[in-house]
Chain A
Amino acid sequence: MIQTYLIHLFILIGIYIILTLSLNLTIGYSGLLNLGHVALFGIGAYTSTLLVMNGLPFLLSFLTAGILAAISGALLYGLTRKLKGDYLALATLGFSFVIYSIMLNWIDLTRGPLGIPGIPKPLIFGLTIQSTGVYLFFTFIITLISIGILTLITRSTFGRLLQAARDDEIGLRVLGKNTYALRYKSMAIAGFFAGIAGSIYAHYISYIDPSSFSLTNLIFLLTAVIVGGLASVRGSIIAPFILILIPEALRFIDMPSSILGPLRQIIYCLILLVILLYRPRGICGRIDLQ
């Protein structure tokens, strides 16, 4: 019993590592205060679910989910590329609300607030991933590949250019670098990984509704990025462990559920406050939160 519970937690941690790391690519490395990430997560989850439920193989749906979220990410940047700081944050938050509204109101496609139940487990090369143990292995592999690719990107000359654009966009443009193109790519990459995380999430939980991709989830992701530290791959791996495991400890305390929920939020808030007060760069961050 405890084993299944732990496996469940580690699967969630894997999914949130991919999400946090990809969000950090846009916020921490590219300097784009992107609040539309949760919408890209949702696009991935719904795309994969709808495609699989309409007969497409899982792997194809999984990749399409990533590609569609990547296109959405690039499109989002295309629409907001002239905006900076707070304005960009508001515009991308608006994008999250628009996608949320579409999920909620396009009843024929998404079943609206009722959500989509009975999402099948992934079928890969004729084998269905039924057990949570195997699903954990699958999530682990995808998480490992995602960490590898995103680490390579952030360490590469491309990643260095993203950081330079974050520090001084004009300074980089006069060196002959197209900062728009760099950031398009960055948003697309982040979108791709958010999309595949959405796919893993949907096929694991086997039920999705718009509330899974709401503001609450976005706040959790932002907290993870800040706690881990901006522009830090290591921090983005550590933060989901902290933010998922610490509040889970509350389950073992005999307390009514009406108190447990708000207490969990209080713990997130406390973690964030402590980090901002005593370690403003996050656990492993290299750059200041501006």
Chain B
Amino acid sequence: MKTGTKKEIKKETKEKTSHTKTNTSSTKNTSSTFHPIPTPSPSPSIILDIENISKAFGGVHALDKCTFSVDQGSLTALIGPNGSGKTTMFNVISRLIQEDHGKIILQQSSVDKLADYSLARQGISRTFQQVRLFRNLTIRDHLEIALDQDDESLLKSIKYELQKIAHAILTRSSSRNLSSPNPSSPYIAPNTTHKKINKVLALVGLQKPLTTYVTDLSYGQRKLLDLAIAIAKPHTILLLDEPVAGINPQLRDQIKAILRNLHQQGETILLIEHDMNFVMGLAQKIYVMDHGTVIAQGTPLQIRTNPQVLQVYLGE
């Protein structure tokens, strides 16, 4: 009975803590007579907080009370063997899959009720293990879509297109008159967008003409473009799902350098990777997942010597 009461207190405290963190109106177990133990608010440096996420597909528990957090400006890695639930976790974080239980808190706000696209607008930018590009669009199209967060308005879109036509006509007539382009042209060339595109392509080292269709890119180049899109999209955290899967060692080193560079610039990165060696030389903090739950966490050195992790990876 006494033990039971202690457990209840713990449970109540945990729920209340999560309530405080998210500012949501969760009413679970509010009828309990136990007073919650005051807990400090979460560290402001935590940008993404995953609390007890569970997800089952039929009888298979892909995620089982998975809990971890990502600090602002950190490079955190989520590792684990095949089927440990890493990608499912990413899909839950980006709302492509709805969790059964648990909470996701992004920048002190619960994102439970957000649709996938709304969450993306809140600042989550992600890549997929298998690159998801638009096969009939060019490199420029991809990056413009990622950069422009206001391109869904039909009227604005048509207005912009008309301005482009007007600009083209005015420029042509100006060049016929051998004078400089008409300054009164209503169309403002998106120089800033162009600069941003060039900058992000330089950052990832993708040297292809902007008009290249993605079907004309190699697998490695597609991986780089995928990374460039995620970087270009306005974000607060980057989720990278196996960014070096299936690519040659040279490109692998290149991507490692890109990630290190991004981290030095203050980016918050959460990445999934199979390869321990890749992660060891890169991440500040590592979470190890197995059977849908986090079994270990720590610095690369701590993880390397953790017997539980060695058992999961080596079966010893």
Contact = CB atoms under 8 A, between A and B. Distances in A.
Interface in A169-215: 170-179, 181-182, 185, 189
Interface residues of B, number: 35
A181 B161 contact: no
Given A160-B145, A168-B133, A287-B136, A153 B158 contact: yes
Given A160-B137, A163-B134, A185-B154, A177 B117 contact: yes
B134 A171 contact: yes
Nearest to A151: B161
B137 A163 contact: yes
B96 interface: yes
B149 interface: yes
B187 interface: no
A174 B94 contact: yes
B136 A231 contact: yes
Contacts of A152: 158, 161-162
Interface string B91-105: 000101000000000
B86 interface: no
Contacts of A84: none
Residue of B94, B128, B133, B154 with most chain A CB atoms under a 10 A cut-off = B154
Nearest to B159: A156
B70 to A, nearest CB: 18
A161 interface: yes
Contacts of B233: 175-176
A106 interface: no
Given A157-B160, A174-B96, A179-B117, A167 B149 contact: no
For the complex of A and B, the 6 pairs showing the least CB-CB separation, nearest first, are: A171-B132, A158-B157, A176-B120, A167-B134, A156-B157, A157-B151
Interface of B: 94, 96, 115-118, 120-121, 124-126, 128, 132-137, 141, 144-146, 148-149, 151-154, 157-158, 160-162, 229, 233
18 contacts: A152-B158, A153-B158, A156-B157, A157-B160, A158-B152, A160-B145, A161-B151, A167-B135, A173-B96, A174-B117, A174-B120, A176-B118, A176-B233, A177-B151, A182-B152, A189-B154, A231-B136, A286-B136
